[in-house]
Amino acid sequence: MCTEGPLLVFAGAGSGKTRVITNRIAYLIIEKGIDPSNILAVTFTKKAAGEMQERVTTLLKDLGYNSDRIPTIGTFHSIGAMMLRQNAKELGLINNFSIYDSDDSENMIKEILLERDIDIKQIKPQAIAYYIGAAKNEMISPDRFKHHYGGYIEDIAAEIYPAYQKQLLAQNSVDFGDLLYLTVKLLDENEKIREKYQQKFKYILIDEYQDTNFAQYKFAKLLSENHHNICVVGDDDQGIYAWRGANIKNIQSFSEDFKDVTIVKLEQNYRSTKNVIKAAVQVIEQNNSRVEKVLWTDNNDGDSITVYQASDQENEAEYIIEQITYLQRLGVSLRDMAVLYRTNYQSRAIEEALLKSGLPYKLVGGFRFYERKEIKDIISYLRFCFNIKDELSIDRIINIPPRKMGPRSVAKLHDLSKDASCTLGEFLTIAYTVLNPEYQDRVSVRKNVLEKITDLKPEWEKHMNIINTFGLIYFLSKDLNILEIIDLILEKTKYIQWFDDRTEQSEMKKENIVELKNVASTYVERYGKKSLEMFLNEINLIEQEQDKNQDGSGNYLNLMTLHSSKGLEFDYVFIVGMEEGLLPHSRSFLEEDDMEEERRLCYVGITRAKQKLFLTFAEKRQTREGYTSQIPSRFLGEIPQEICDYYSWNNDFI
């Protein structure tokens, strides 16, 4: 085994890369006699670090190692935090510094923006936090920021960044990005401290190296530049996190960054059948920017890959339910099956089909469609439009988006409504009619309630913003169908503008809202003006079914995005929405690098399957404009036809 000098291990999907790291650690300690305190192993998640710690401890014990001394194993950020606490004074901090989470950071940025009279409705704290975080990942200091980013919001961020860092220091605090940014800065600028950790960590191992950003790359480079005993394990074919700062070139150029690198390729897959591997290999080999390697397996051929053409997303979901039910009859447990999709909103149709069928499921790494915050918010507005006495819904949205109303203001409105002997929803709408009498005949109100609210006018006039918003939405909604009401809500509340900070997260929220509107359009088509009532009735049933969708056995069907599936494996895998614009996503059409990442994402999804793979696509999908024709994904055409069985909803798919 190569233990000295740089080692790059390309570990293909299902090749046992975690075992490589744990066994290497054990070999260093048992066979080479390396002091465990001189070994550092770094992972990306707390869970992965915990699992590695457990595996190493068990392995060492099995090999007769009885000492309590073990290597340092942790995430990049946990190791960074440890180093910062040990050297806090070098950065002007005290070692008991606080670590701010994203909410803390955004609140601090909000205060700084307000101090500078910057409109937080136009320049959102989340957006500024995003740019500052991205800068720290790239090791860009406050004074260099303006030279790297250009644009209106970026210029504001350039102004806020130095003030934000100054404020953090004054409060003896760091944010999550600082845990690496400041650590790397410390190692880079302080030779004495750098040498201390280089002497301590003589052997460094890094998992999932293809997912490292610049700060993480720099961290590894600085720590290892003395002894050069760095082992990185990863697979450039599984690099799928460019959107959060990962740079696949870190692993691809490793042999250029370090001298005399030993390269090992683990190409044997122990997980999947030959047909699954053939499909994955044929897809990924279409990428130009990759290190040459060929995944293979000694496993049997296995079943052919099933490709199904659905008529629409509902038929796609029905087909999946049929196949899952059939597999259950064969004795396959739900926990051994997974449905994967490119974007979160695609779960909606599948969830509804599962609820109707009574099959229990769990959403891995996310919330069920109708439990997502943006969906719950809009549904609460819809419930208000349908029933102004719905207190729970109004309480949820009364300050969403924020309307400069603290708990006291909300409590005051509740008190006023009680004084007027009505609900808060009634109070808001009737108060609106006091100022707009033309609407008084459109709400049923007792004369004494109207008189009380009129008398209380001096006390509620200060809340005209919220009264106007809710009053206008309520009365205008009476002549509209559900789709028009959703548009009205979005327009009058500026809901999307409120959360849109141009991040991946906000894009997913917008996609979820679009999917809700797609659902709404089907109700308009079926029920016209009664679409709101019928939709809310259906939602109530769905929520009840979700509450019952727990059997206590832990045997659930797994639903997740392709990104969330990385590192997992299942006997039977369904990848849905294999269409141009979905997989690959439409955002990848302009840049070759983006398209290659989409192909890697498809590769990751395919290689999750151990026994059988199902690929589905829809002939058309419901959109606000009606059903639109879909083009099958280019990735489907890259899979050899001879290993596929093709089926269609109308039996004429060839």
Active site residues: 17-18, 207-208, 238, 608
> What are φ and ψ of residue 317, in 5° steps?
-65, -40
DSSP codes of every residue in 482-540: HHHHHHHHHHHHTHHHHH--SSHHHHHHHHHHHHHHHHHHHHHHHHGGGHHHHHHHHHH
Rounded to whole angstroms, the Cα distance separating 6 from 258 reads 7
What letter would DSSP give residue 447? Answer: H
Is 267:295 a contact under the CB 8 Å cutoff?
A: yes
CA atoms within 13 A on the CB side of 296: 4
Of the candidates 222, 166, 162, 220, which has an alpha carbon nearest to the alpha carbon of residue 190? 222
Close Cβ partners of 95 (under 8 Å, ≥ 6 residues apart): 85, 86, 88, 89
Measured from the Cβ of residue 344, the count of other Cβ atoms closer than 10 Å reads 22
Of the candidates 436, 431, 437, 451, which has an alpha carbon nearest to the alpha carbon of residue 388? 431
Number of H helices, E strands in the chain: 28, 17
Q: What is the CA radius of gyration of the chain?
A: 28
* Cα dihedral value 90, 96, 100, 101, nearest 10: 120
Distances (CA, A) of 14 to 5, 304, 562: 26, 19, 16
3-state secondary structure of 551: coil
Rounded to whole angstroms, the Cα distance separating 143 from 162 reads 7
Q: Which two tokens stand for residue 517?
A: 């509107």
Measured from the Cβ of residue 584, the count of other Cβ atoms closer than 10 Å reads 23
Rounded to whole angstroms, the Cα distance separating 53 from 73 reads 6
Of the candidates 291, 333, 340, 243, which has an alpha carbon nearest to the alpha carbon of residue 604? 340
Of the candidates 5, 1, 3, which has an alpha carbon nearest to the alpha carbon of residue 226? 5
Is 431:467 a contact under the CB 8 Å cutoff?
A: yes
Is 309:613 a contact under the CB 8 Å cutoff?
A: no
Q: Which two tokens stand for residue 247?
A: 């740079």
Rounded to whole angstroms, the Cα distance separating 361 from 555 reads 8
Q: Residue 94 belongs to what H/E stretch?
A: none
Rounded to whole angstroms, the Cα distance separating 229 from 259 reads 11
Rounded to whole angstroms, the Cα distance separating 318 from 315 reads 5
Of the candidates 116, 169, 122, which has an alpha carbon nearest to the alpha carbon of residue 142? 169
Rounded to whole angstroms, the Cα distance separating 509 from 228 reads 45
Is 112:167 a contact under the CB 8 Å cutoff?
A: yes
